Chain A
């Protein structure tokens, strides 16, 4: 007997498979990228380098706070545009779309270099796409003039095609991506998306070609391997839809046995074999799948598929046994779902999610998160996370919760710092009081004006000496005493009675006076120059003294004011923290309640599905018993 694969179910399968293969990858890298940044050698403000040091370690919050401080203190004079662009990107990375949009629009409103405007438009378009403002996204993309730097150009092309696909314009999306190849890996995502778009728009052969290309491409990392698996899965189901089970099996066989898409591939592979009228070979993947944890929906379905294949092989005894097994497995799984629902309702659900998550930049929804969570501990809180994280809304909510948790920790740290600041300000106030007394004493003992007057008197004397060329005015104290002594001697000689002796003495005194004057005259210029140099030193010393006294006076005025200012700021910040802390706690709790509600609804939907499976198994079992009763069983 030939079993025909139901056409309707096949088309559903492929539609659903392709629905699960939504345009991918670009959205996971939501924020700023390295392409926004200047090359290392061109960093001209160290504070900007400090921001990048944190940014490159995926510490977006730390980078943003430092960037805001540096911008406010005008420490980034050489990087105004890059810094503004990075700020927008960081807000985006932290899930603050509204502020990010405001920053990008603000940047675009000003005179910015074309390259910066293009990058801002790209990010704006990405936000608009994520928020489903598709027309605006298309307009923003159309305003980009030049090629974007690095991988951003590839991302732009990918985003452009995603926008077109989201608007249902598959043909235009295909045209936009046609002929694009690059080594960065983005082209693979584009080919995947295009393949899906073409299959959806009815151009299946071309779509399959592209999916085949991605499914057989070289892949060096987990992300690319996962994409390859996804392409093969989509291709396999597309081929199943077109009733090409042999080719479908080839594609599905390429999906790794230990990847995130393995279970679905095994299920599809079984269907391919079944469609090819090889139920015995269909059993191979289905039996493999059946041994896997029942938490996975594909595994749950395999519990029905295995007895279905046995029944086709007319092994009704085994079929009946497997249906019974399915019924008890569904019941056990339903109990586990109940446990999980109870655990989630009890609280602490999201913390369990975050504990199970890997460290690093990848957020919820990224391949590494999903992959890790698939291997998360089999605890009631975390058992069904993988399925929950398939929802974009849930991922966004989880990211918000994670950010709030980080900010709660941050507030707690600052809270103890603020107490220390408060004490520090008080200690500074006390110290300033002690210093004030010493300063007053010092300042009262320092008469700069008297010093200045003395300096001016010296200067006036020098001027007179120069004007009168009074060489004796520059005499050393010894020379001055000698000059004075010679003058007194001359007076005494003049008082002597005239005669040869007086003449001889007068001649000798005149000779000595002349010699001294000659010496003073000969060295006058040198002495004058030394005096001028001395005056310059004196002037410099006076200026410095005035500066120091000014600083001391200023400091004594500033410190108390600074302290009062600091005390005011500490109080103001403490008030803001006190206001914010309960709001953050409340927001985290609200986020948890909301996501827990979604999780519970999802798990209840899973329970309903299990109940439906159980009904089907029981029905099939009854049918088998019917058949046996009518004499057909072996």
Chain B
């Protein structure tokens, strides 16, 4: 059977398809040039307003954050315990428990995202509280998995003297010399 394609159809169809291909490949977000200009101007104006508003919100949050700390944890009684990690990525931290003067104050379970942040150099403010001046005892225990899925549980006890100023204690999980065993290294900051 002889096939006959209407001569008019392909040419028109090709033109139509070509025109529609243009639409497909660059589906413009706005209907017309005037619309686009108007919309872009609208976005810019709102964007500038929103930027100014965001800045005010950042400032407000800063002041609220500061008020909260100064009101709840004044420097004269403030004790902060920080946690940092300086081990190879082979060690996956699961949890850290803190006891202050025999009382559990934190039992923190870590998400993958938090562990990654610690490995990248972030330092977590693990505990913020109040203590009277004098001698205190901090007991910290961490658990996690090391190479070959081996479970680790390590602890440390620190006695520290709380004076009039804020007290910072840094618990650093670090590699034991050459043995690749994670353990606590404690530093005190005034």
Residues of A bordering B, CB below 8 Å? 1, 3, 6, 8-9, 12-13, 16-17, 19-20, 34, 37-41, 43, 46, 48-50, 52-57, 61, 64-66, 68-69, 72-73, 94-99, 237, 264, 267, 271, 297-298, 300-301, 304-305, 308, 311-314, 316, 387-388, 390-391, 393-394, 396-397, 400, 403-404, 407, 410-411, 414, 417-418, 421, 424-425, 566, 569-570, 573, 576-577, 580, 583-584, 587, 590-591, 594, 597-598, 601-602, 604-606, 608-609, 612-613, 616, 619-620, 623-624, 626-627, 630, 632-634
Given the complex, which residues of A lie within 8 Å of B58, measured CB to CB? 61, 64-65, 68, 94, 96
Q: How far is the CB of A365 from chain B (nearest CB, A)?
A: 12
Given the complex, which residues of B lie within 8 Å of A391, measured CB to CB? 29-30
Q: Is the CB of A616 within 8 A of B54?
A: no
Contact stretch, chosen from B45-53, B143-151, B175-183 = B45-53
Given the complex, which residues of A lie within 8 Å of B17, measured CB to CB? 9, 301, 304-305, 308
Q: How far is the CB of B15 from chain A (nearest CB, A)?
A: 7
Contact with A along B20-56 (1 / 0, CB 8 A): 1111111111110001000110110011111111111
User: Which among B3, B22, B189 is the interface contact of A313 at CB below 8 angstroms?
Assistant: B3
Q: Is the CB of A417 within 8 A of B64?
A: yes
| Given A311-B5, A312-B10, A597-B39; 7 other pairs, CB 8 A cutoff | A3-B14, A9-B22, A20-B26, A52-B117, A94-B54, A396-B43, A569-B63
Q: Is the CB of B51 within 8 A of A634?
A: no
> How far apart are the CA atoms of A473 and B13 in the complex, in Å?
128
Q: How far is the CB of A343 from chain B (nearest CB, A)?
A: 19
Given the complex, which residues of B lie within 8 Å of A634, measured CB to CB? 1, 3
Q: How far is the CB of A413 from chain B (nearest CB, A)?
A: 10
Q: Is the CB of B20 within 8 A of A616?
A: yes
Q: Is the CB of A99 within 8 A of B22?
A: no
Contact stretch, chosen from B96-104, B122-130, B134-142, B153-161 = B122-130
Chain B residue at minimal CB-CB distance from A13:
B21
Given the complex, which residues of B lie within 8 Å of A569, measured CB to CB? 63, 67
Q: How far is the CB of B158 from chain A (nearest CB, A)?
A: 16
Chain A residue at minimal CB-CB distance from B187:
A46
> How far apart are the CA atoms of A96 and B23 in the complex, in Å?
34
> How far apart are the CA atoms of A605 and B35 in the complex, in Å?
11
Given the complex, which residues of A lie within 8 Å of B170, measured CB to CB? 46
Given the complex, which residues of A lie within 8 Å of B12, measured CB to CB? 619-620, 623
Residues of B bordering A, CB below 8 Å? 1, 3-6, 8-10, 12-31, 35, 39-40, 42-43, 46-72, 80, 82, 84, 86, 113-114, 116-118, 120-125, 168, 170, 189
Given the complex, which residues of B lie within 8 Å of A8, measured CB to CB? 18
Q: Is the CB of B71 within 8 A of A1?
A: no
> Could you tell me the dominant secondary structure of chain A's interface residues?
helix
Q: Is the CB of A623 within 8 A of B31?
A: no
Given the complex, which residues of B lie within 8 Å of A403, measured CB to CB? 50, 54
Q: Is the CB of A40 within 8 A of B3?
A: no
User: Which among B8, B19, B50 is the interface contact of A587 at CB below 8 angstroms?
Assistant: B50
User: Which among A12, A40, A94, A632 is the interface contact of B21 at CB below 8 angstroms?
Assistant: A12
24 A-B pairs within 8 Å (CB atoms) are namely A9-B21, A46-B123, A49-B121, A52-B121, A54-B122, A56-B117, A61-B58, A68-B58, A69-B65, A69-B69, A72-B62, A95-B50, A301-B20, A301-B24, A400-B46, A407-B54, A569-B63, A573-B64, A580-B53, A590-B49, A597-B39, A601-B30, A612-B20, A627-B5
Given A301-B21, A573-B67: A65 and B62 interface contact (C-beta under 8 Å): yes
Given A52-B123, A98-B48, A311-B10: A40 and B24 interface contact (C-beta under 8 Å): no
> How far apart are the CA atoms of A48 and B118 in the complex, in Å?
13
> How far apart are the CA atoms of A403 and B53 in the complex, in Å?
11
Q: How far is the CB of B187 from chain A (nearest CB, A)?
A: 9
Q: Is the CB of A577 within 8 A of B31?
A: no
Given the complex, which residues of B lie within 8 Å of A633, measured CB to CB? 4
Q: Is the CB of A418 within 8 A of B62?
A: no
> How far apart are the CA atoms of A591 and B49 in the complex, in Å?
10
> How far apart are the CA atoms of A276 and B125 in the complex, in Å?
66
Q: Is the CB of A298 within 8 A of B10?
A: no
Given the complex, which residues of A lie within 8 Å of B118, measured CB to CB? 53
Given the complex, which residues of A lie within 8 Å of B63, measured CB to CB? 569, 573, 576
Given A65-B62, A566-B67, A632-B4: A3 and B26 interface contact (C-beta under 8 Å): no
Q: Is the CB of B5 within 8 A of A46?
A: no
Q: Is the CB of B29 within 8 A of A53?
A: no
Given A98-B51, A411-B57, A580-B57: A304 and B20 interface contact (C-beta under 8 Å): yes
Q: Is the CB of B60 within 8 A of A40?
A: no
> How far apart are the CA atoms of A3 and B7 in the complex, in Å?
11
Given the complex, which residues of A lie within 8 Å of B18, measured CB to CB? 6, 8-9, 12-13
Given A602-B30, A626-B6: A580 and B21 interface contact (C-beta under 8 Å): no
Given the complex, which residues of B lie within 8 Å of A68, measured CB to CB? 58-59, 62
Q: How far is the CB of A78 from chain B (nearest CB, A)?
A: 12
Q: Is the CB of B64 within 8 A of A298?
A: no
Q: Is the CB of B124 within 8 A of A388?
A: no
Given the complex, which residues of A lie within 8 Å of B116, measured CB to CB? 56
Given A6-B14, A12-B18, A566-B67: A267 and B40 interface contact (C-beta under 8 Å): no
Given the complex, which residues of A lie within 8 Å of B68, measured CB to CB? 417, 421
User: Which interface residue of B4, B21, B43, B56 has the most chain A CB atoms within 10 A?
Assistant: B21
Q: Is the CB of B66 within 8 A of A37?
A: no
Q: Is the CB of A396 within 8 A of B20?
A: no
User: Which among A414, A591, A609 is the interface contact of B23 at CB below 8 angstroms?
Assistant: A609
> How far apart are the CA atoms of A403 and B50 in the complex, in Å?
9
Given A99-B55, A594-B42: A56 and B189 interface contact (C-beta under 8 Å): no
Q: Is the CB of B22 within 8 A of A425?
A: no
Q: How far is the CB of A408 from chain B (nearest CB, A)?
A: 9
> How far apart are the CA atoms of A271 and B25 in the complex, in Å?
13
> How far apart are the CA atoms of A601 and B38 in the complex, in Å?
12
Chain B residue at minimal CB-CB distance from A263:
B24
